[in-house]
Amino acid sequence: QPQLRESGPGLVKPSETLSLTCTVSGSVSTSNYYWGWIRQPPGKGLEWIGSIYYSGSTYYNPSLKSRVTISVDTSKDQFSLKLTSVTAADTAVYYCARLGGVYGSANSWGQGTPVTVSS
């Protein structure tokens, strides 16, 4: 199982852009797996944000699609999340994960990184 590690700012101001990177030990250029972002607001359940294949094909949650961009850098074995125009509702623990399909199942997870949206 690969190891995944999220990195990025833990505090973002309202209306600004949340940017996170996931570094994978091993290669992101593996067939049959997608790489995704999932978030969990404090005390709440899980929400799939979006996924990417190593070729660059992306899939986004329709509820977030207008604000989300996921990209991959195969040379660094990293993939990244950008979420624009954030509000307090975007405060959550953000996980990166390896997915067995476009929308799941997530068989390897990062430890999660908390992001707070506040001025």
Partner 1 sequence: EIVLTQSPGTLSLSPGERATLSCRASQSVSSSYLAWYQQKPGQAPRLLIYGASNRATGVPDRFSGSGSGTDFTLTISRLEPEDFAVYYCHHYGSSPGSFGQGTKLEI
Does residue 110 belong to the site contacting partner 1 (CB under 8 A)? yes
* CB closer to partner 1, 45 vs 75: 45
Distances (CA, A) of 96 to 2, 14, 15, 118: 12, 22, 23, 22
Alpha carbon distance 117, 84 (integer Å) = 12
CB of 60 to partner 1, least distance (A): 8
In this structure, the number of other CB atoms found within 10 A of the CB of residue 42 comes to 9
Choose among 59, 3, 55: nearest CA to 36.
Answer: 59
Question: What is the closest distance, in whole angstroms, from the C-beta atom of residue 92 to partner 1 in the complex?
Answer: 13
Stretch in the footprint of partner 1 (CB under 8 A) among 7-15, 20-28, 74-82, 110-118:
110-118
Token pair 């509000």: residue: 87
Select 57 or 107, whichever has its Cβ closest to partner 1.
107
DSSP letter at 44? S
Q: In the complex with partner 1, which residue's Cβ is closer, 16 or 47?
A: 47
Interface contacts to partner 1, rule CB under 8 A = 1, 45-48, 59, 61-63, 95, 99-107, 109-112
